[in-house]
Amino acid sequence: MTILVAEDDAVTREALTELLQNDGHEVLAARDGREALKLWKSHRPGLVLLDIMMPHASGYEVCRSIRSEDRRTPVVFLSAKSEEVDVVLGLELGADDFLRKPFGKHELLARVRAVLRRYEEPGEGDELSFGGWSVFPKRLVARQGEREIELTVREVKLIALLARRRGEVVTRDELLNECWGLEYYPESRTVDQHVLNLRKKVEADPSKPLLIETVRGAGYRFP
């Protein structure tokens, strides 16, 4: 697996490169956001690890550019910025994880392996239906009448699990295990933020959701 590491601190960049290479990956190392985008465009790596505060283009800008062309490649932020607003912004831009510095090498490798394992392309299964939407997993789109929206791989996984358990409460732990992987140790708001992003796409009024219900203190369900 080829992994792009974008980190402006040389010591951290070299340490991450060595760690990932020892784990069997090929590593592309970028010193700033501009170089990261250049390497991404020319090599199309299987995973992107992004620092946020970088010269020329921030990690947020790099993630936004990647997501404008590619909704499949997993993106993980590595940052000392740890306020909730930073985490939420990263997830809203389409990132799959947000790992706060400093972090241990075992935690980083666990996150990388979990993202790579769980971020496989959705299966060949039939289209899914819920709340008037038809979801096409292979195309990562959903359609309602003449309206068509784009979905991320993670959103398709969330929909598929909730659809299989229609009418039942699916706990946050179950959603994490199914859609992120057993080795994944996310922030507590990770599931909630992804559900919020999905509601913005499919609900008529995201502030009063009818398609994806919140069961307070438990999880979510399709009614």
Q: Are residues 23 and 114 in the same domain?
A: yes
Same domain? For 97 and 169 the reply is: no
Q: Which pLDDT score, from 0 to 100, does residue 124 have?
A: 45
Considering only residues 90 and 8, tell me which one the structure prediction assigns the higher pLDDT. 8
Residue 201 lies in a domain: yes
Q: Give residue 149's pLDDT.
A: 93
Quote the number of domains for the chain: 2
> 98 and 161 share a domain?
no
Contact 168, 162 (CB under 8 A): no
Q: Is residue 92 part of a domain?
A: yes
**Are residues 151 and 59 both part of a single domain?**
no
Reduce the DSSP state of residue 33 to 3 states and report it: helix
Name the H helices within the chain.
Answer: 10-22, 33-43, 59-69, 84-92, 105-118, 153-164, 172-179, 190-202
Kindly state whether residue 65 falls inside one of the protein's structural domains: yes
What is the Cα gyration radius of the chain?
18
Q: Given pLDDT bands bounded at 50, 70 and 90, which one contains residue 30?
A: very high
* Residue at 139 is within a domain: yes
- 67-123 pLDDT per residue, tens: 998 888 889 998 887 667 777 788 788 888 888 888 899 989 988 887 887 665 454
**φ/ψ of residue 129, rounded to 5:** -130, 135
User: The domain spanning residue 74 has which CATH number?
Assistant: 3.40.50.2300
pLDDT digits (tens, 9 = 90+) for 194-212: 999 999 999 999 999 999 9
In-domain check, residue 13: yes
Angle, helix 172-179 to helix 153-164, in steps of 10 degrees: 130
If asked whether residues 37 and 108 sit together in one domain, one would say yes
The residue type found at 126 is D
| 43 token code pair | 């090599």
Boundaries of domain holding 153: 128-221
Do both 133 and 102 map to the same domain?
no
Q: What is the pLDDT of residues 31-68, one digit of tens each?
A: 999 999 999 999 999 999 999 999 999 999 999 999 99
Residues 95 and 132 in one domain: no
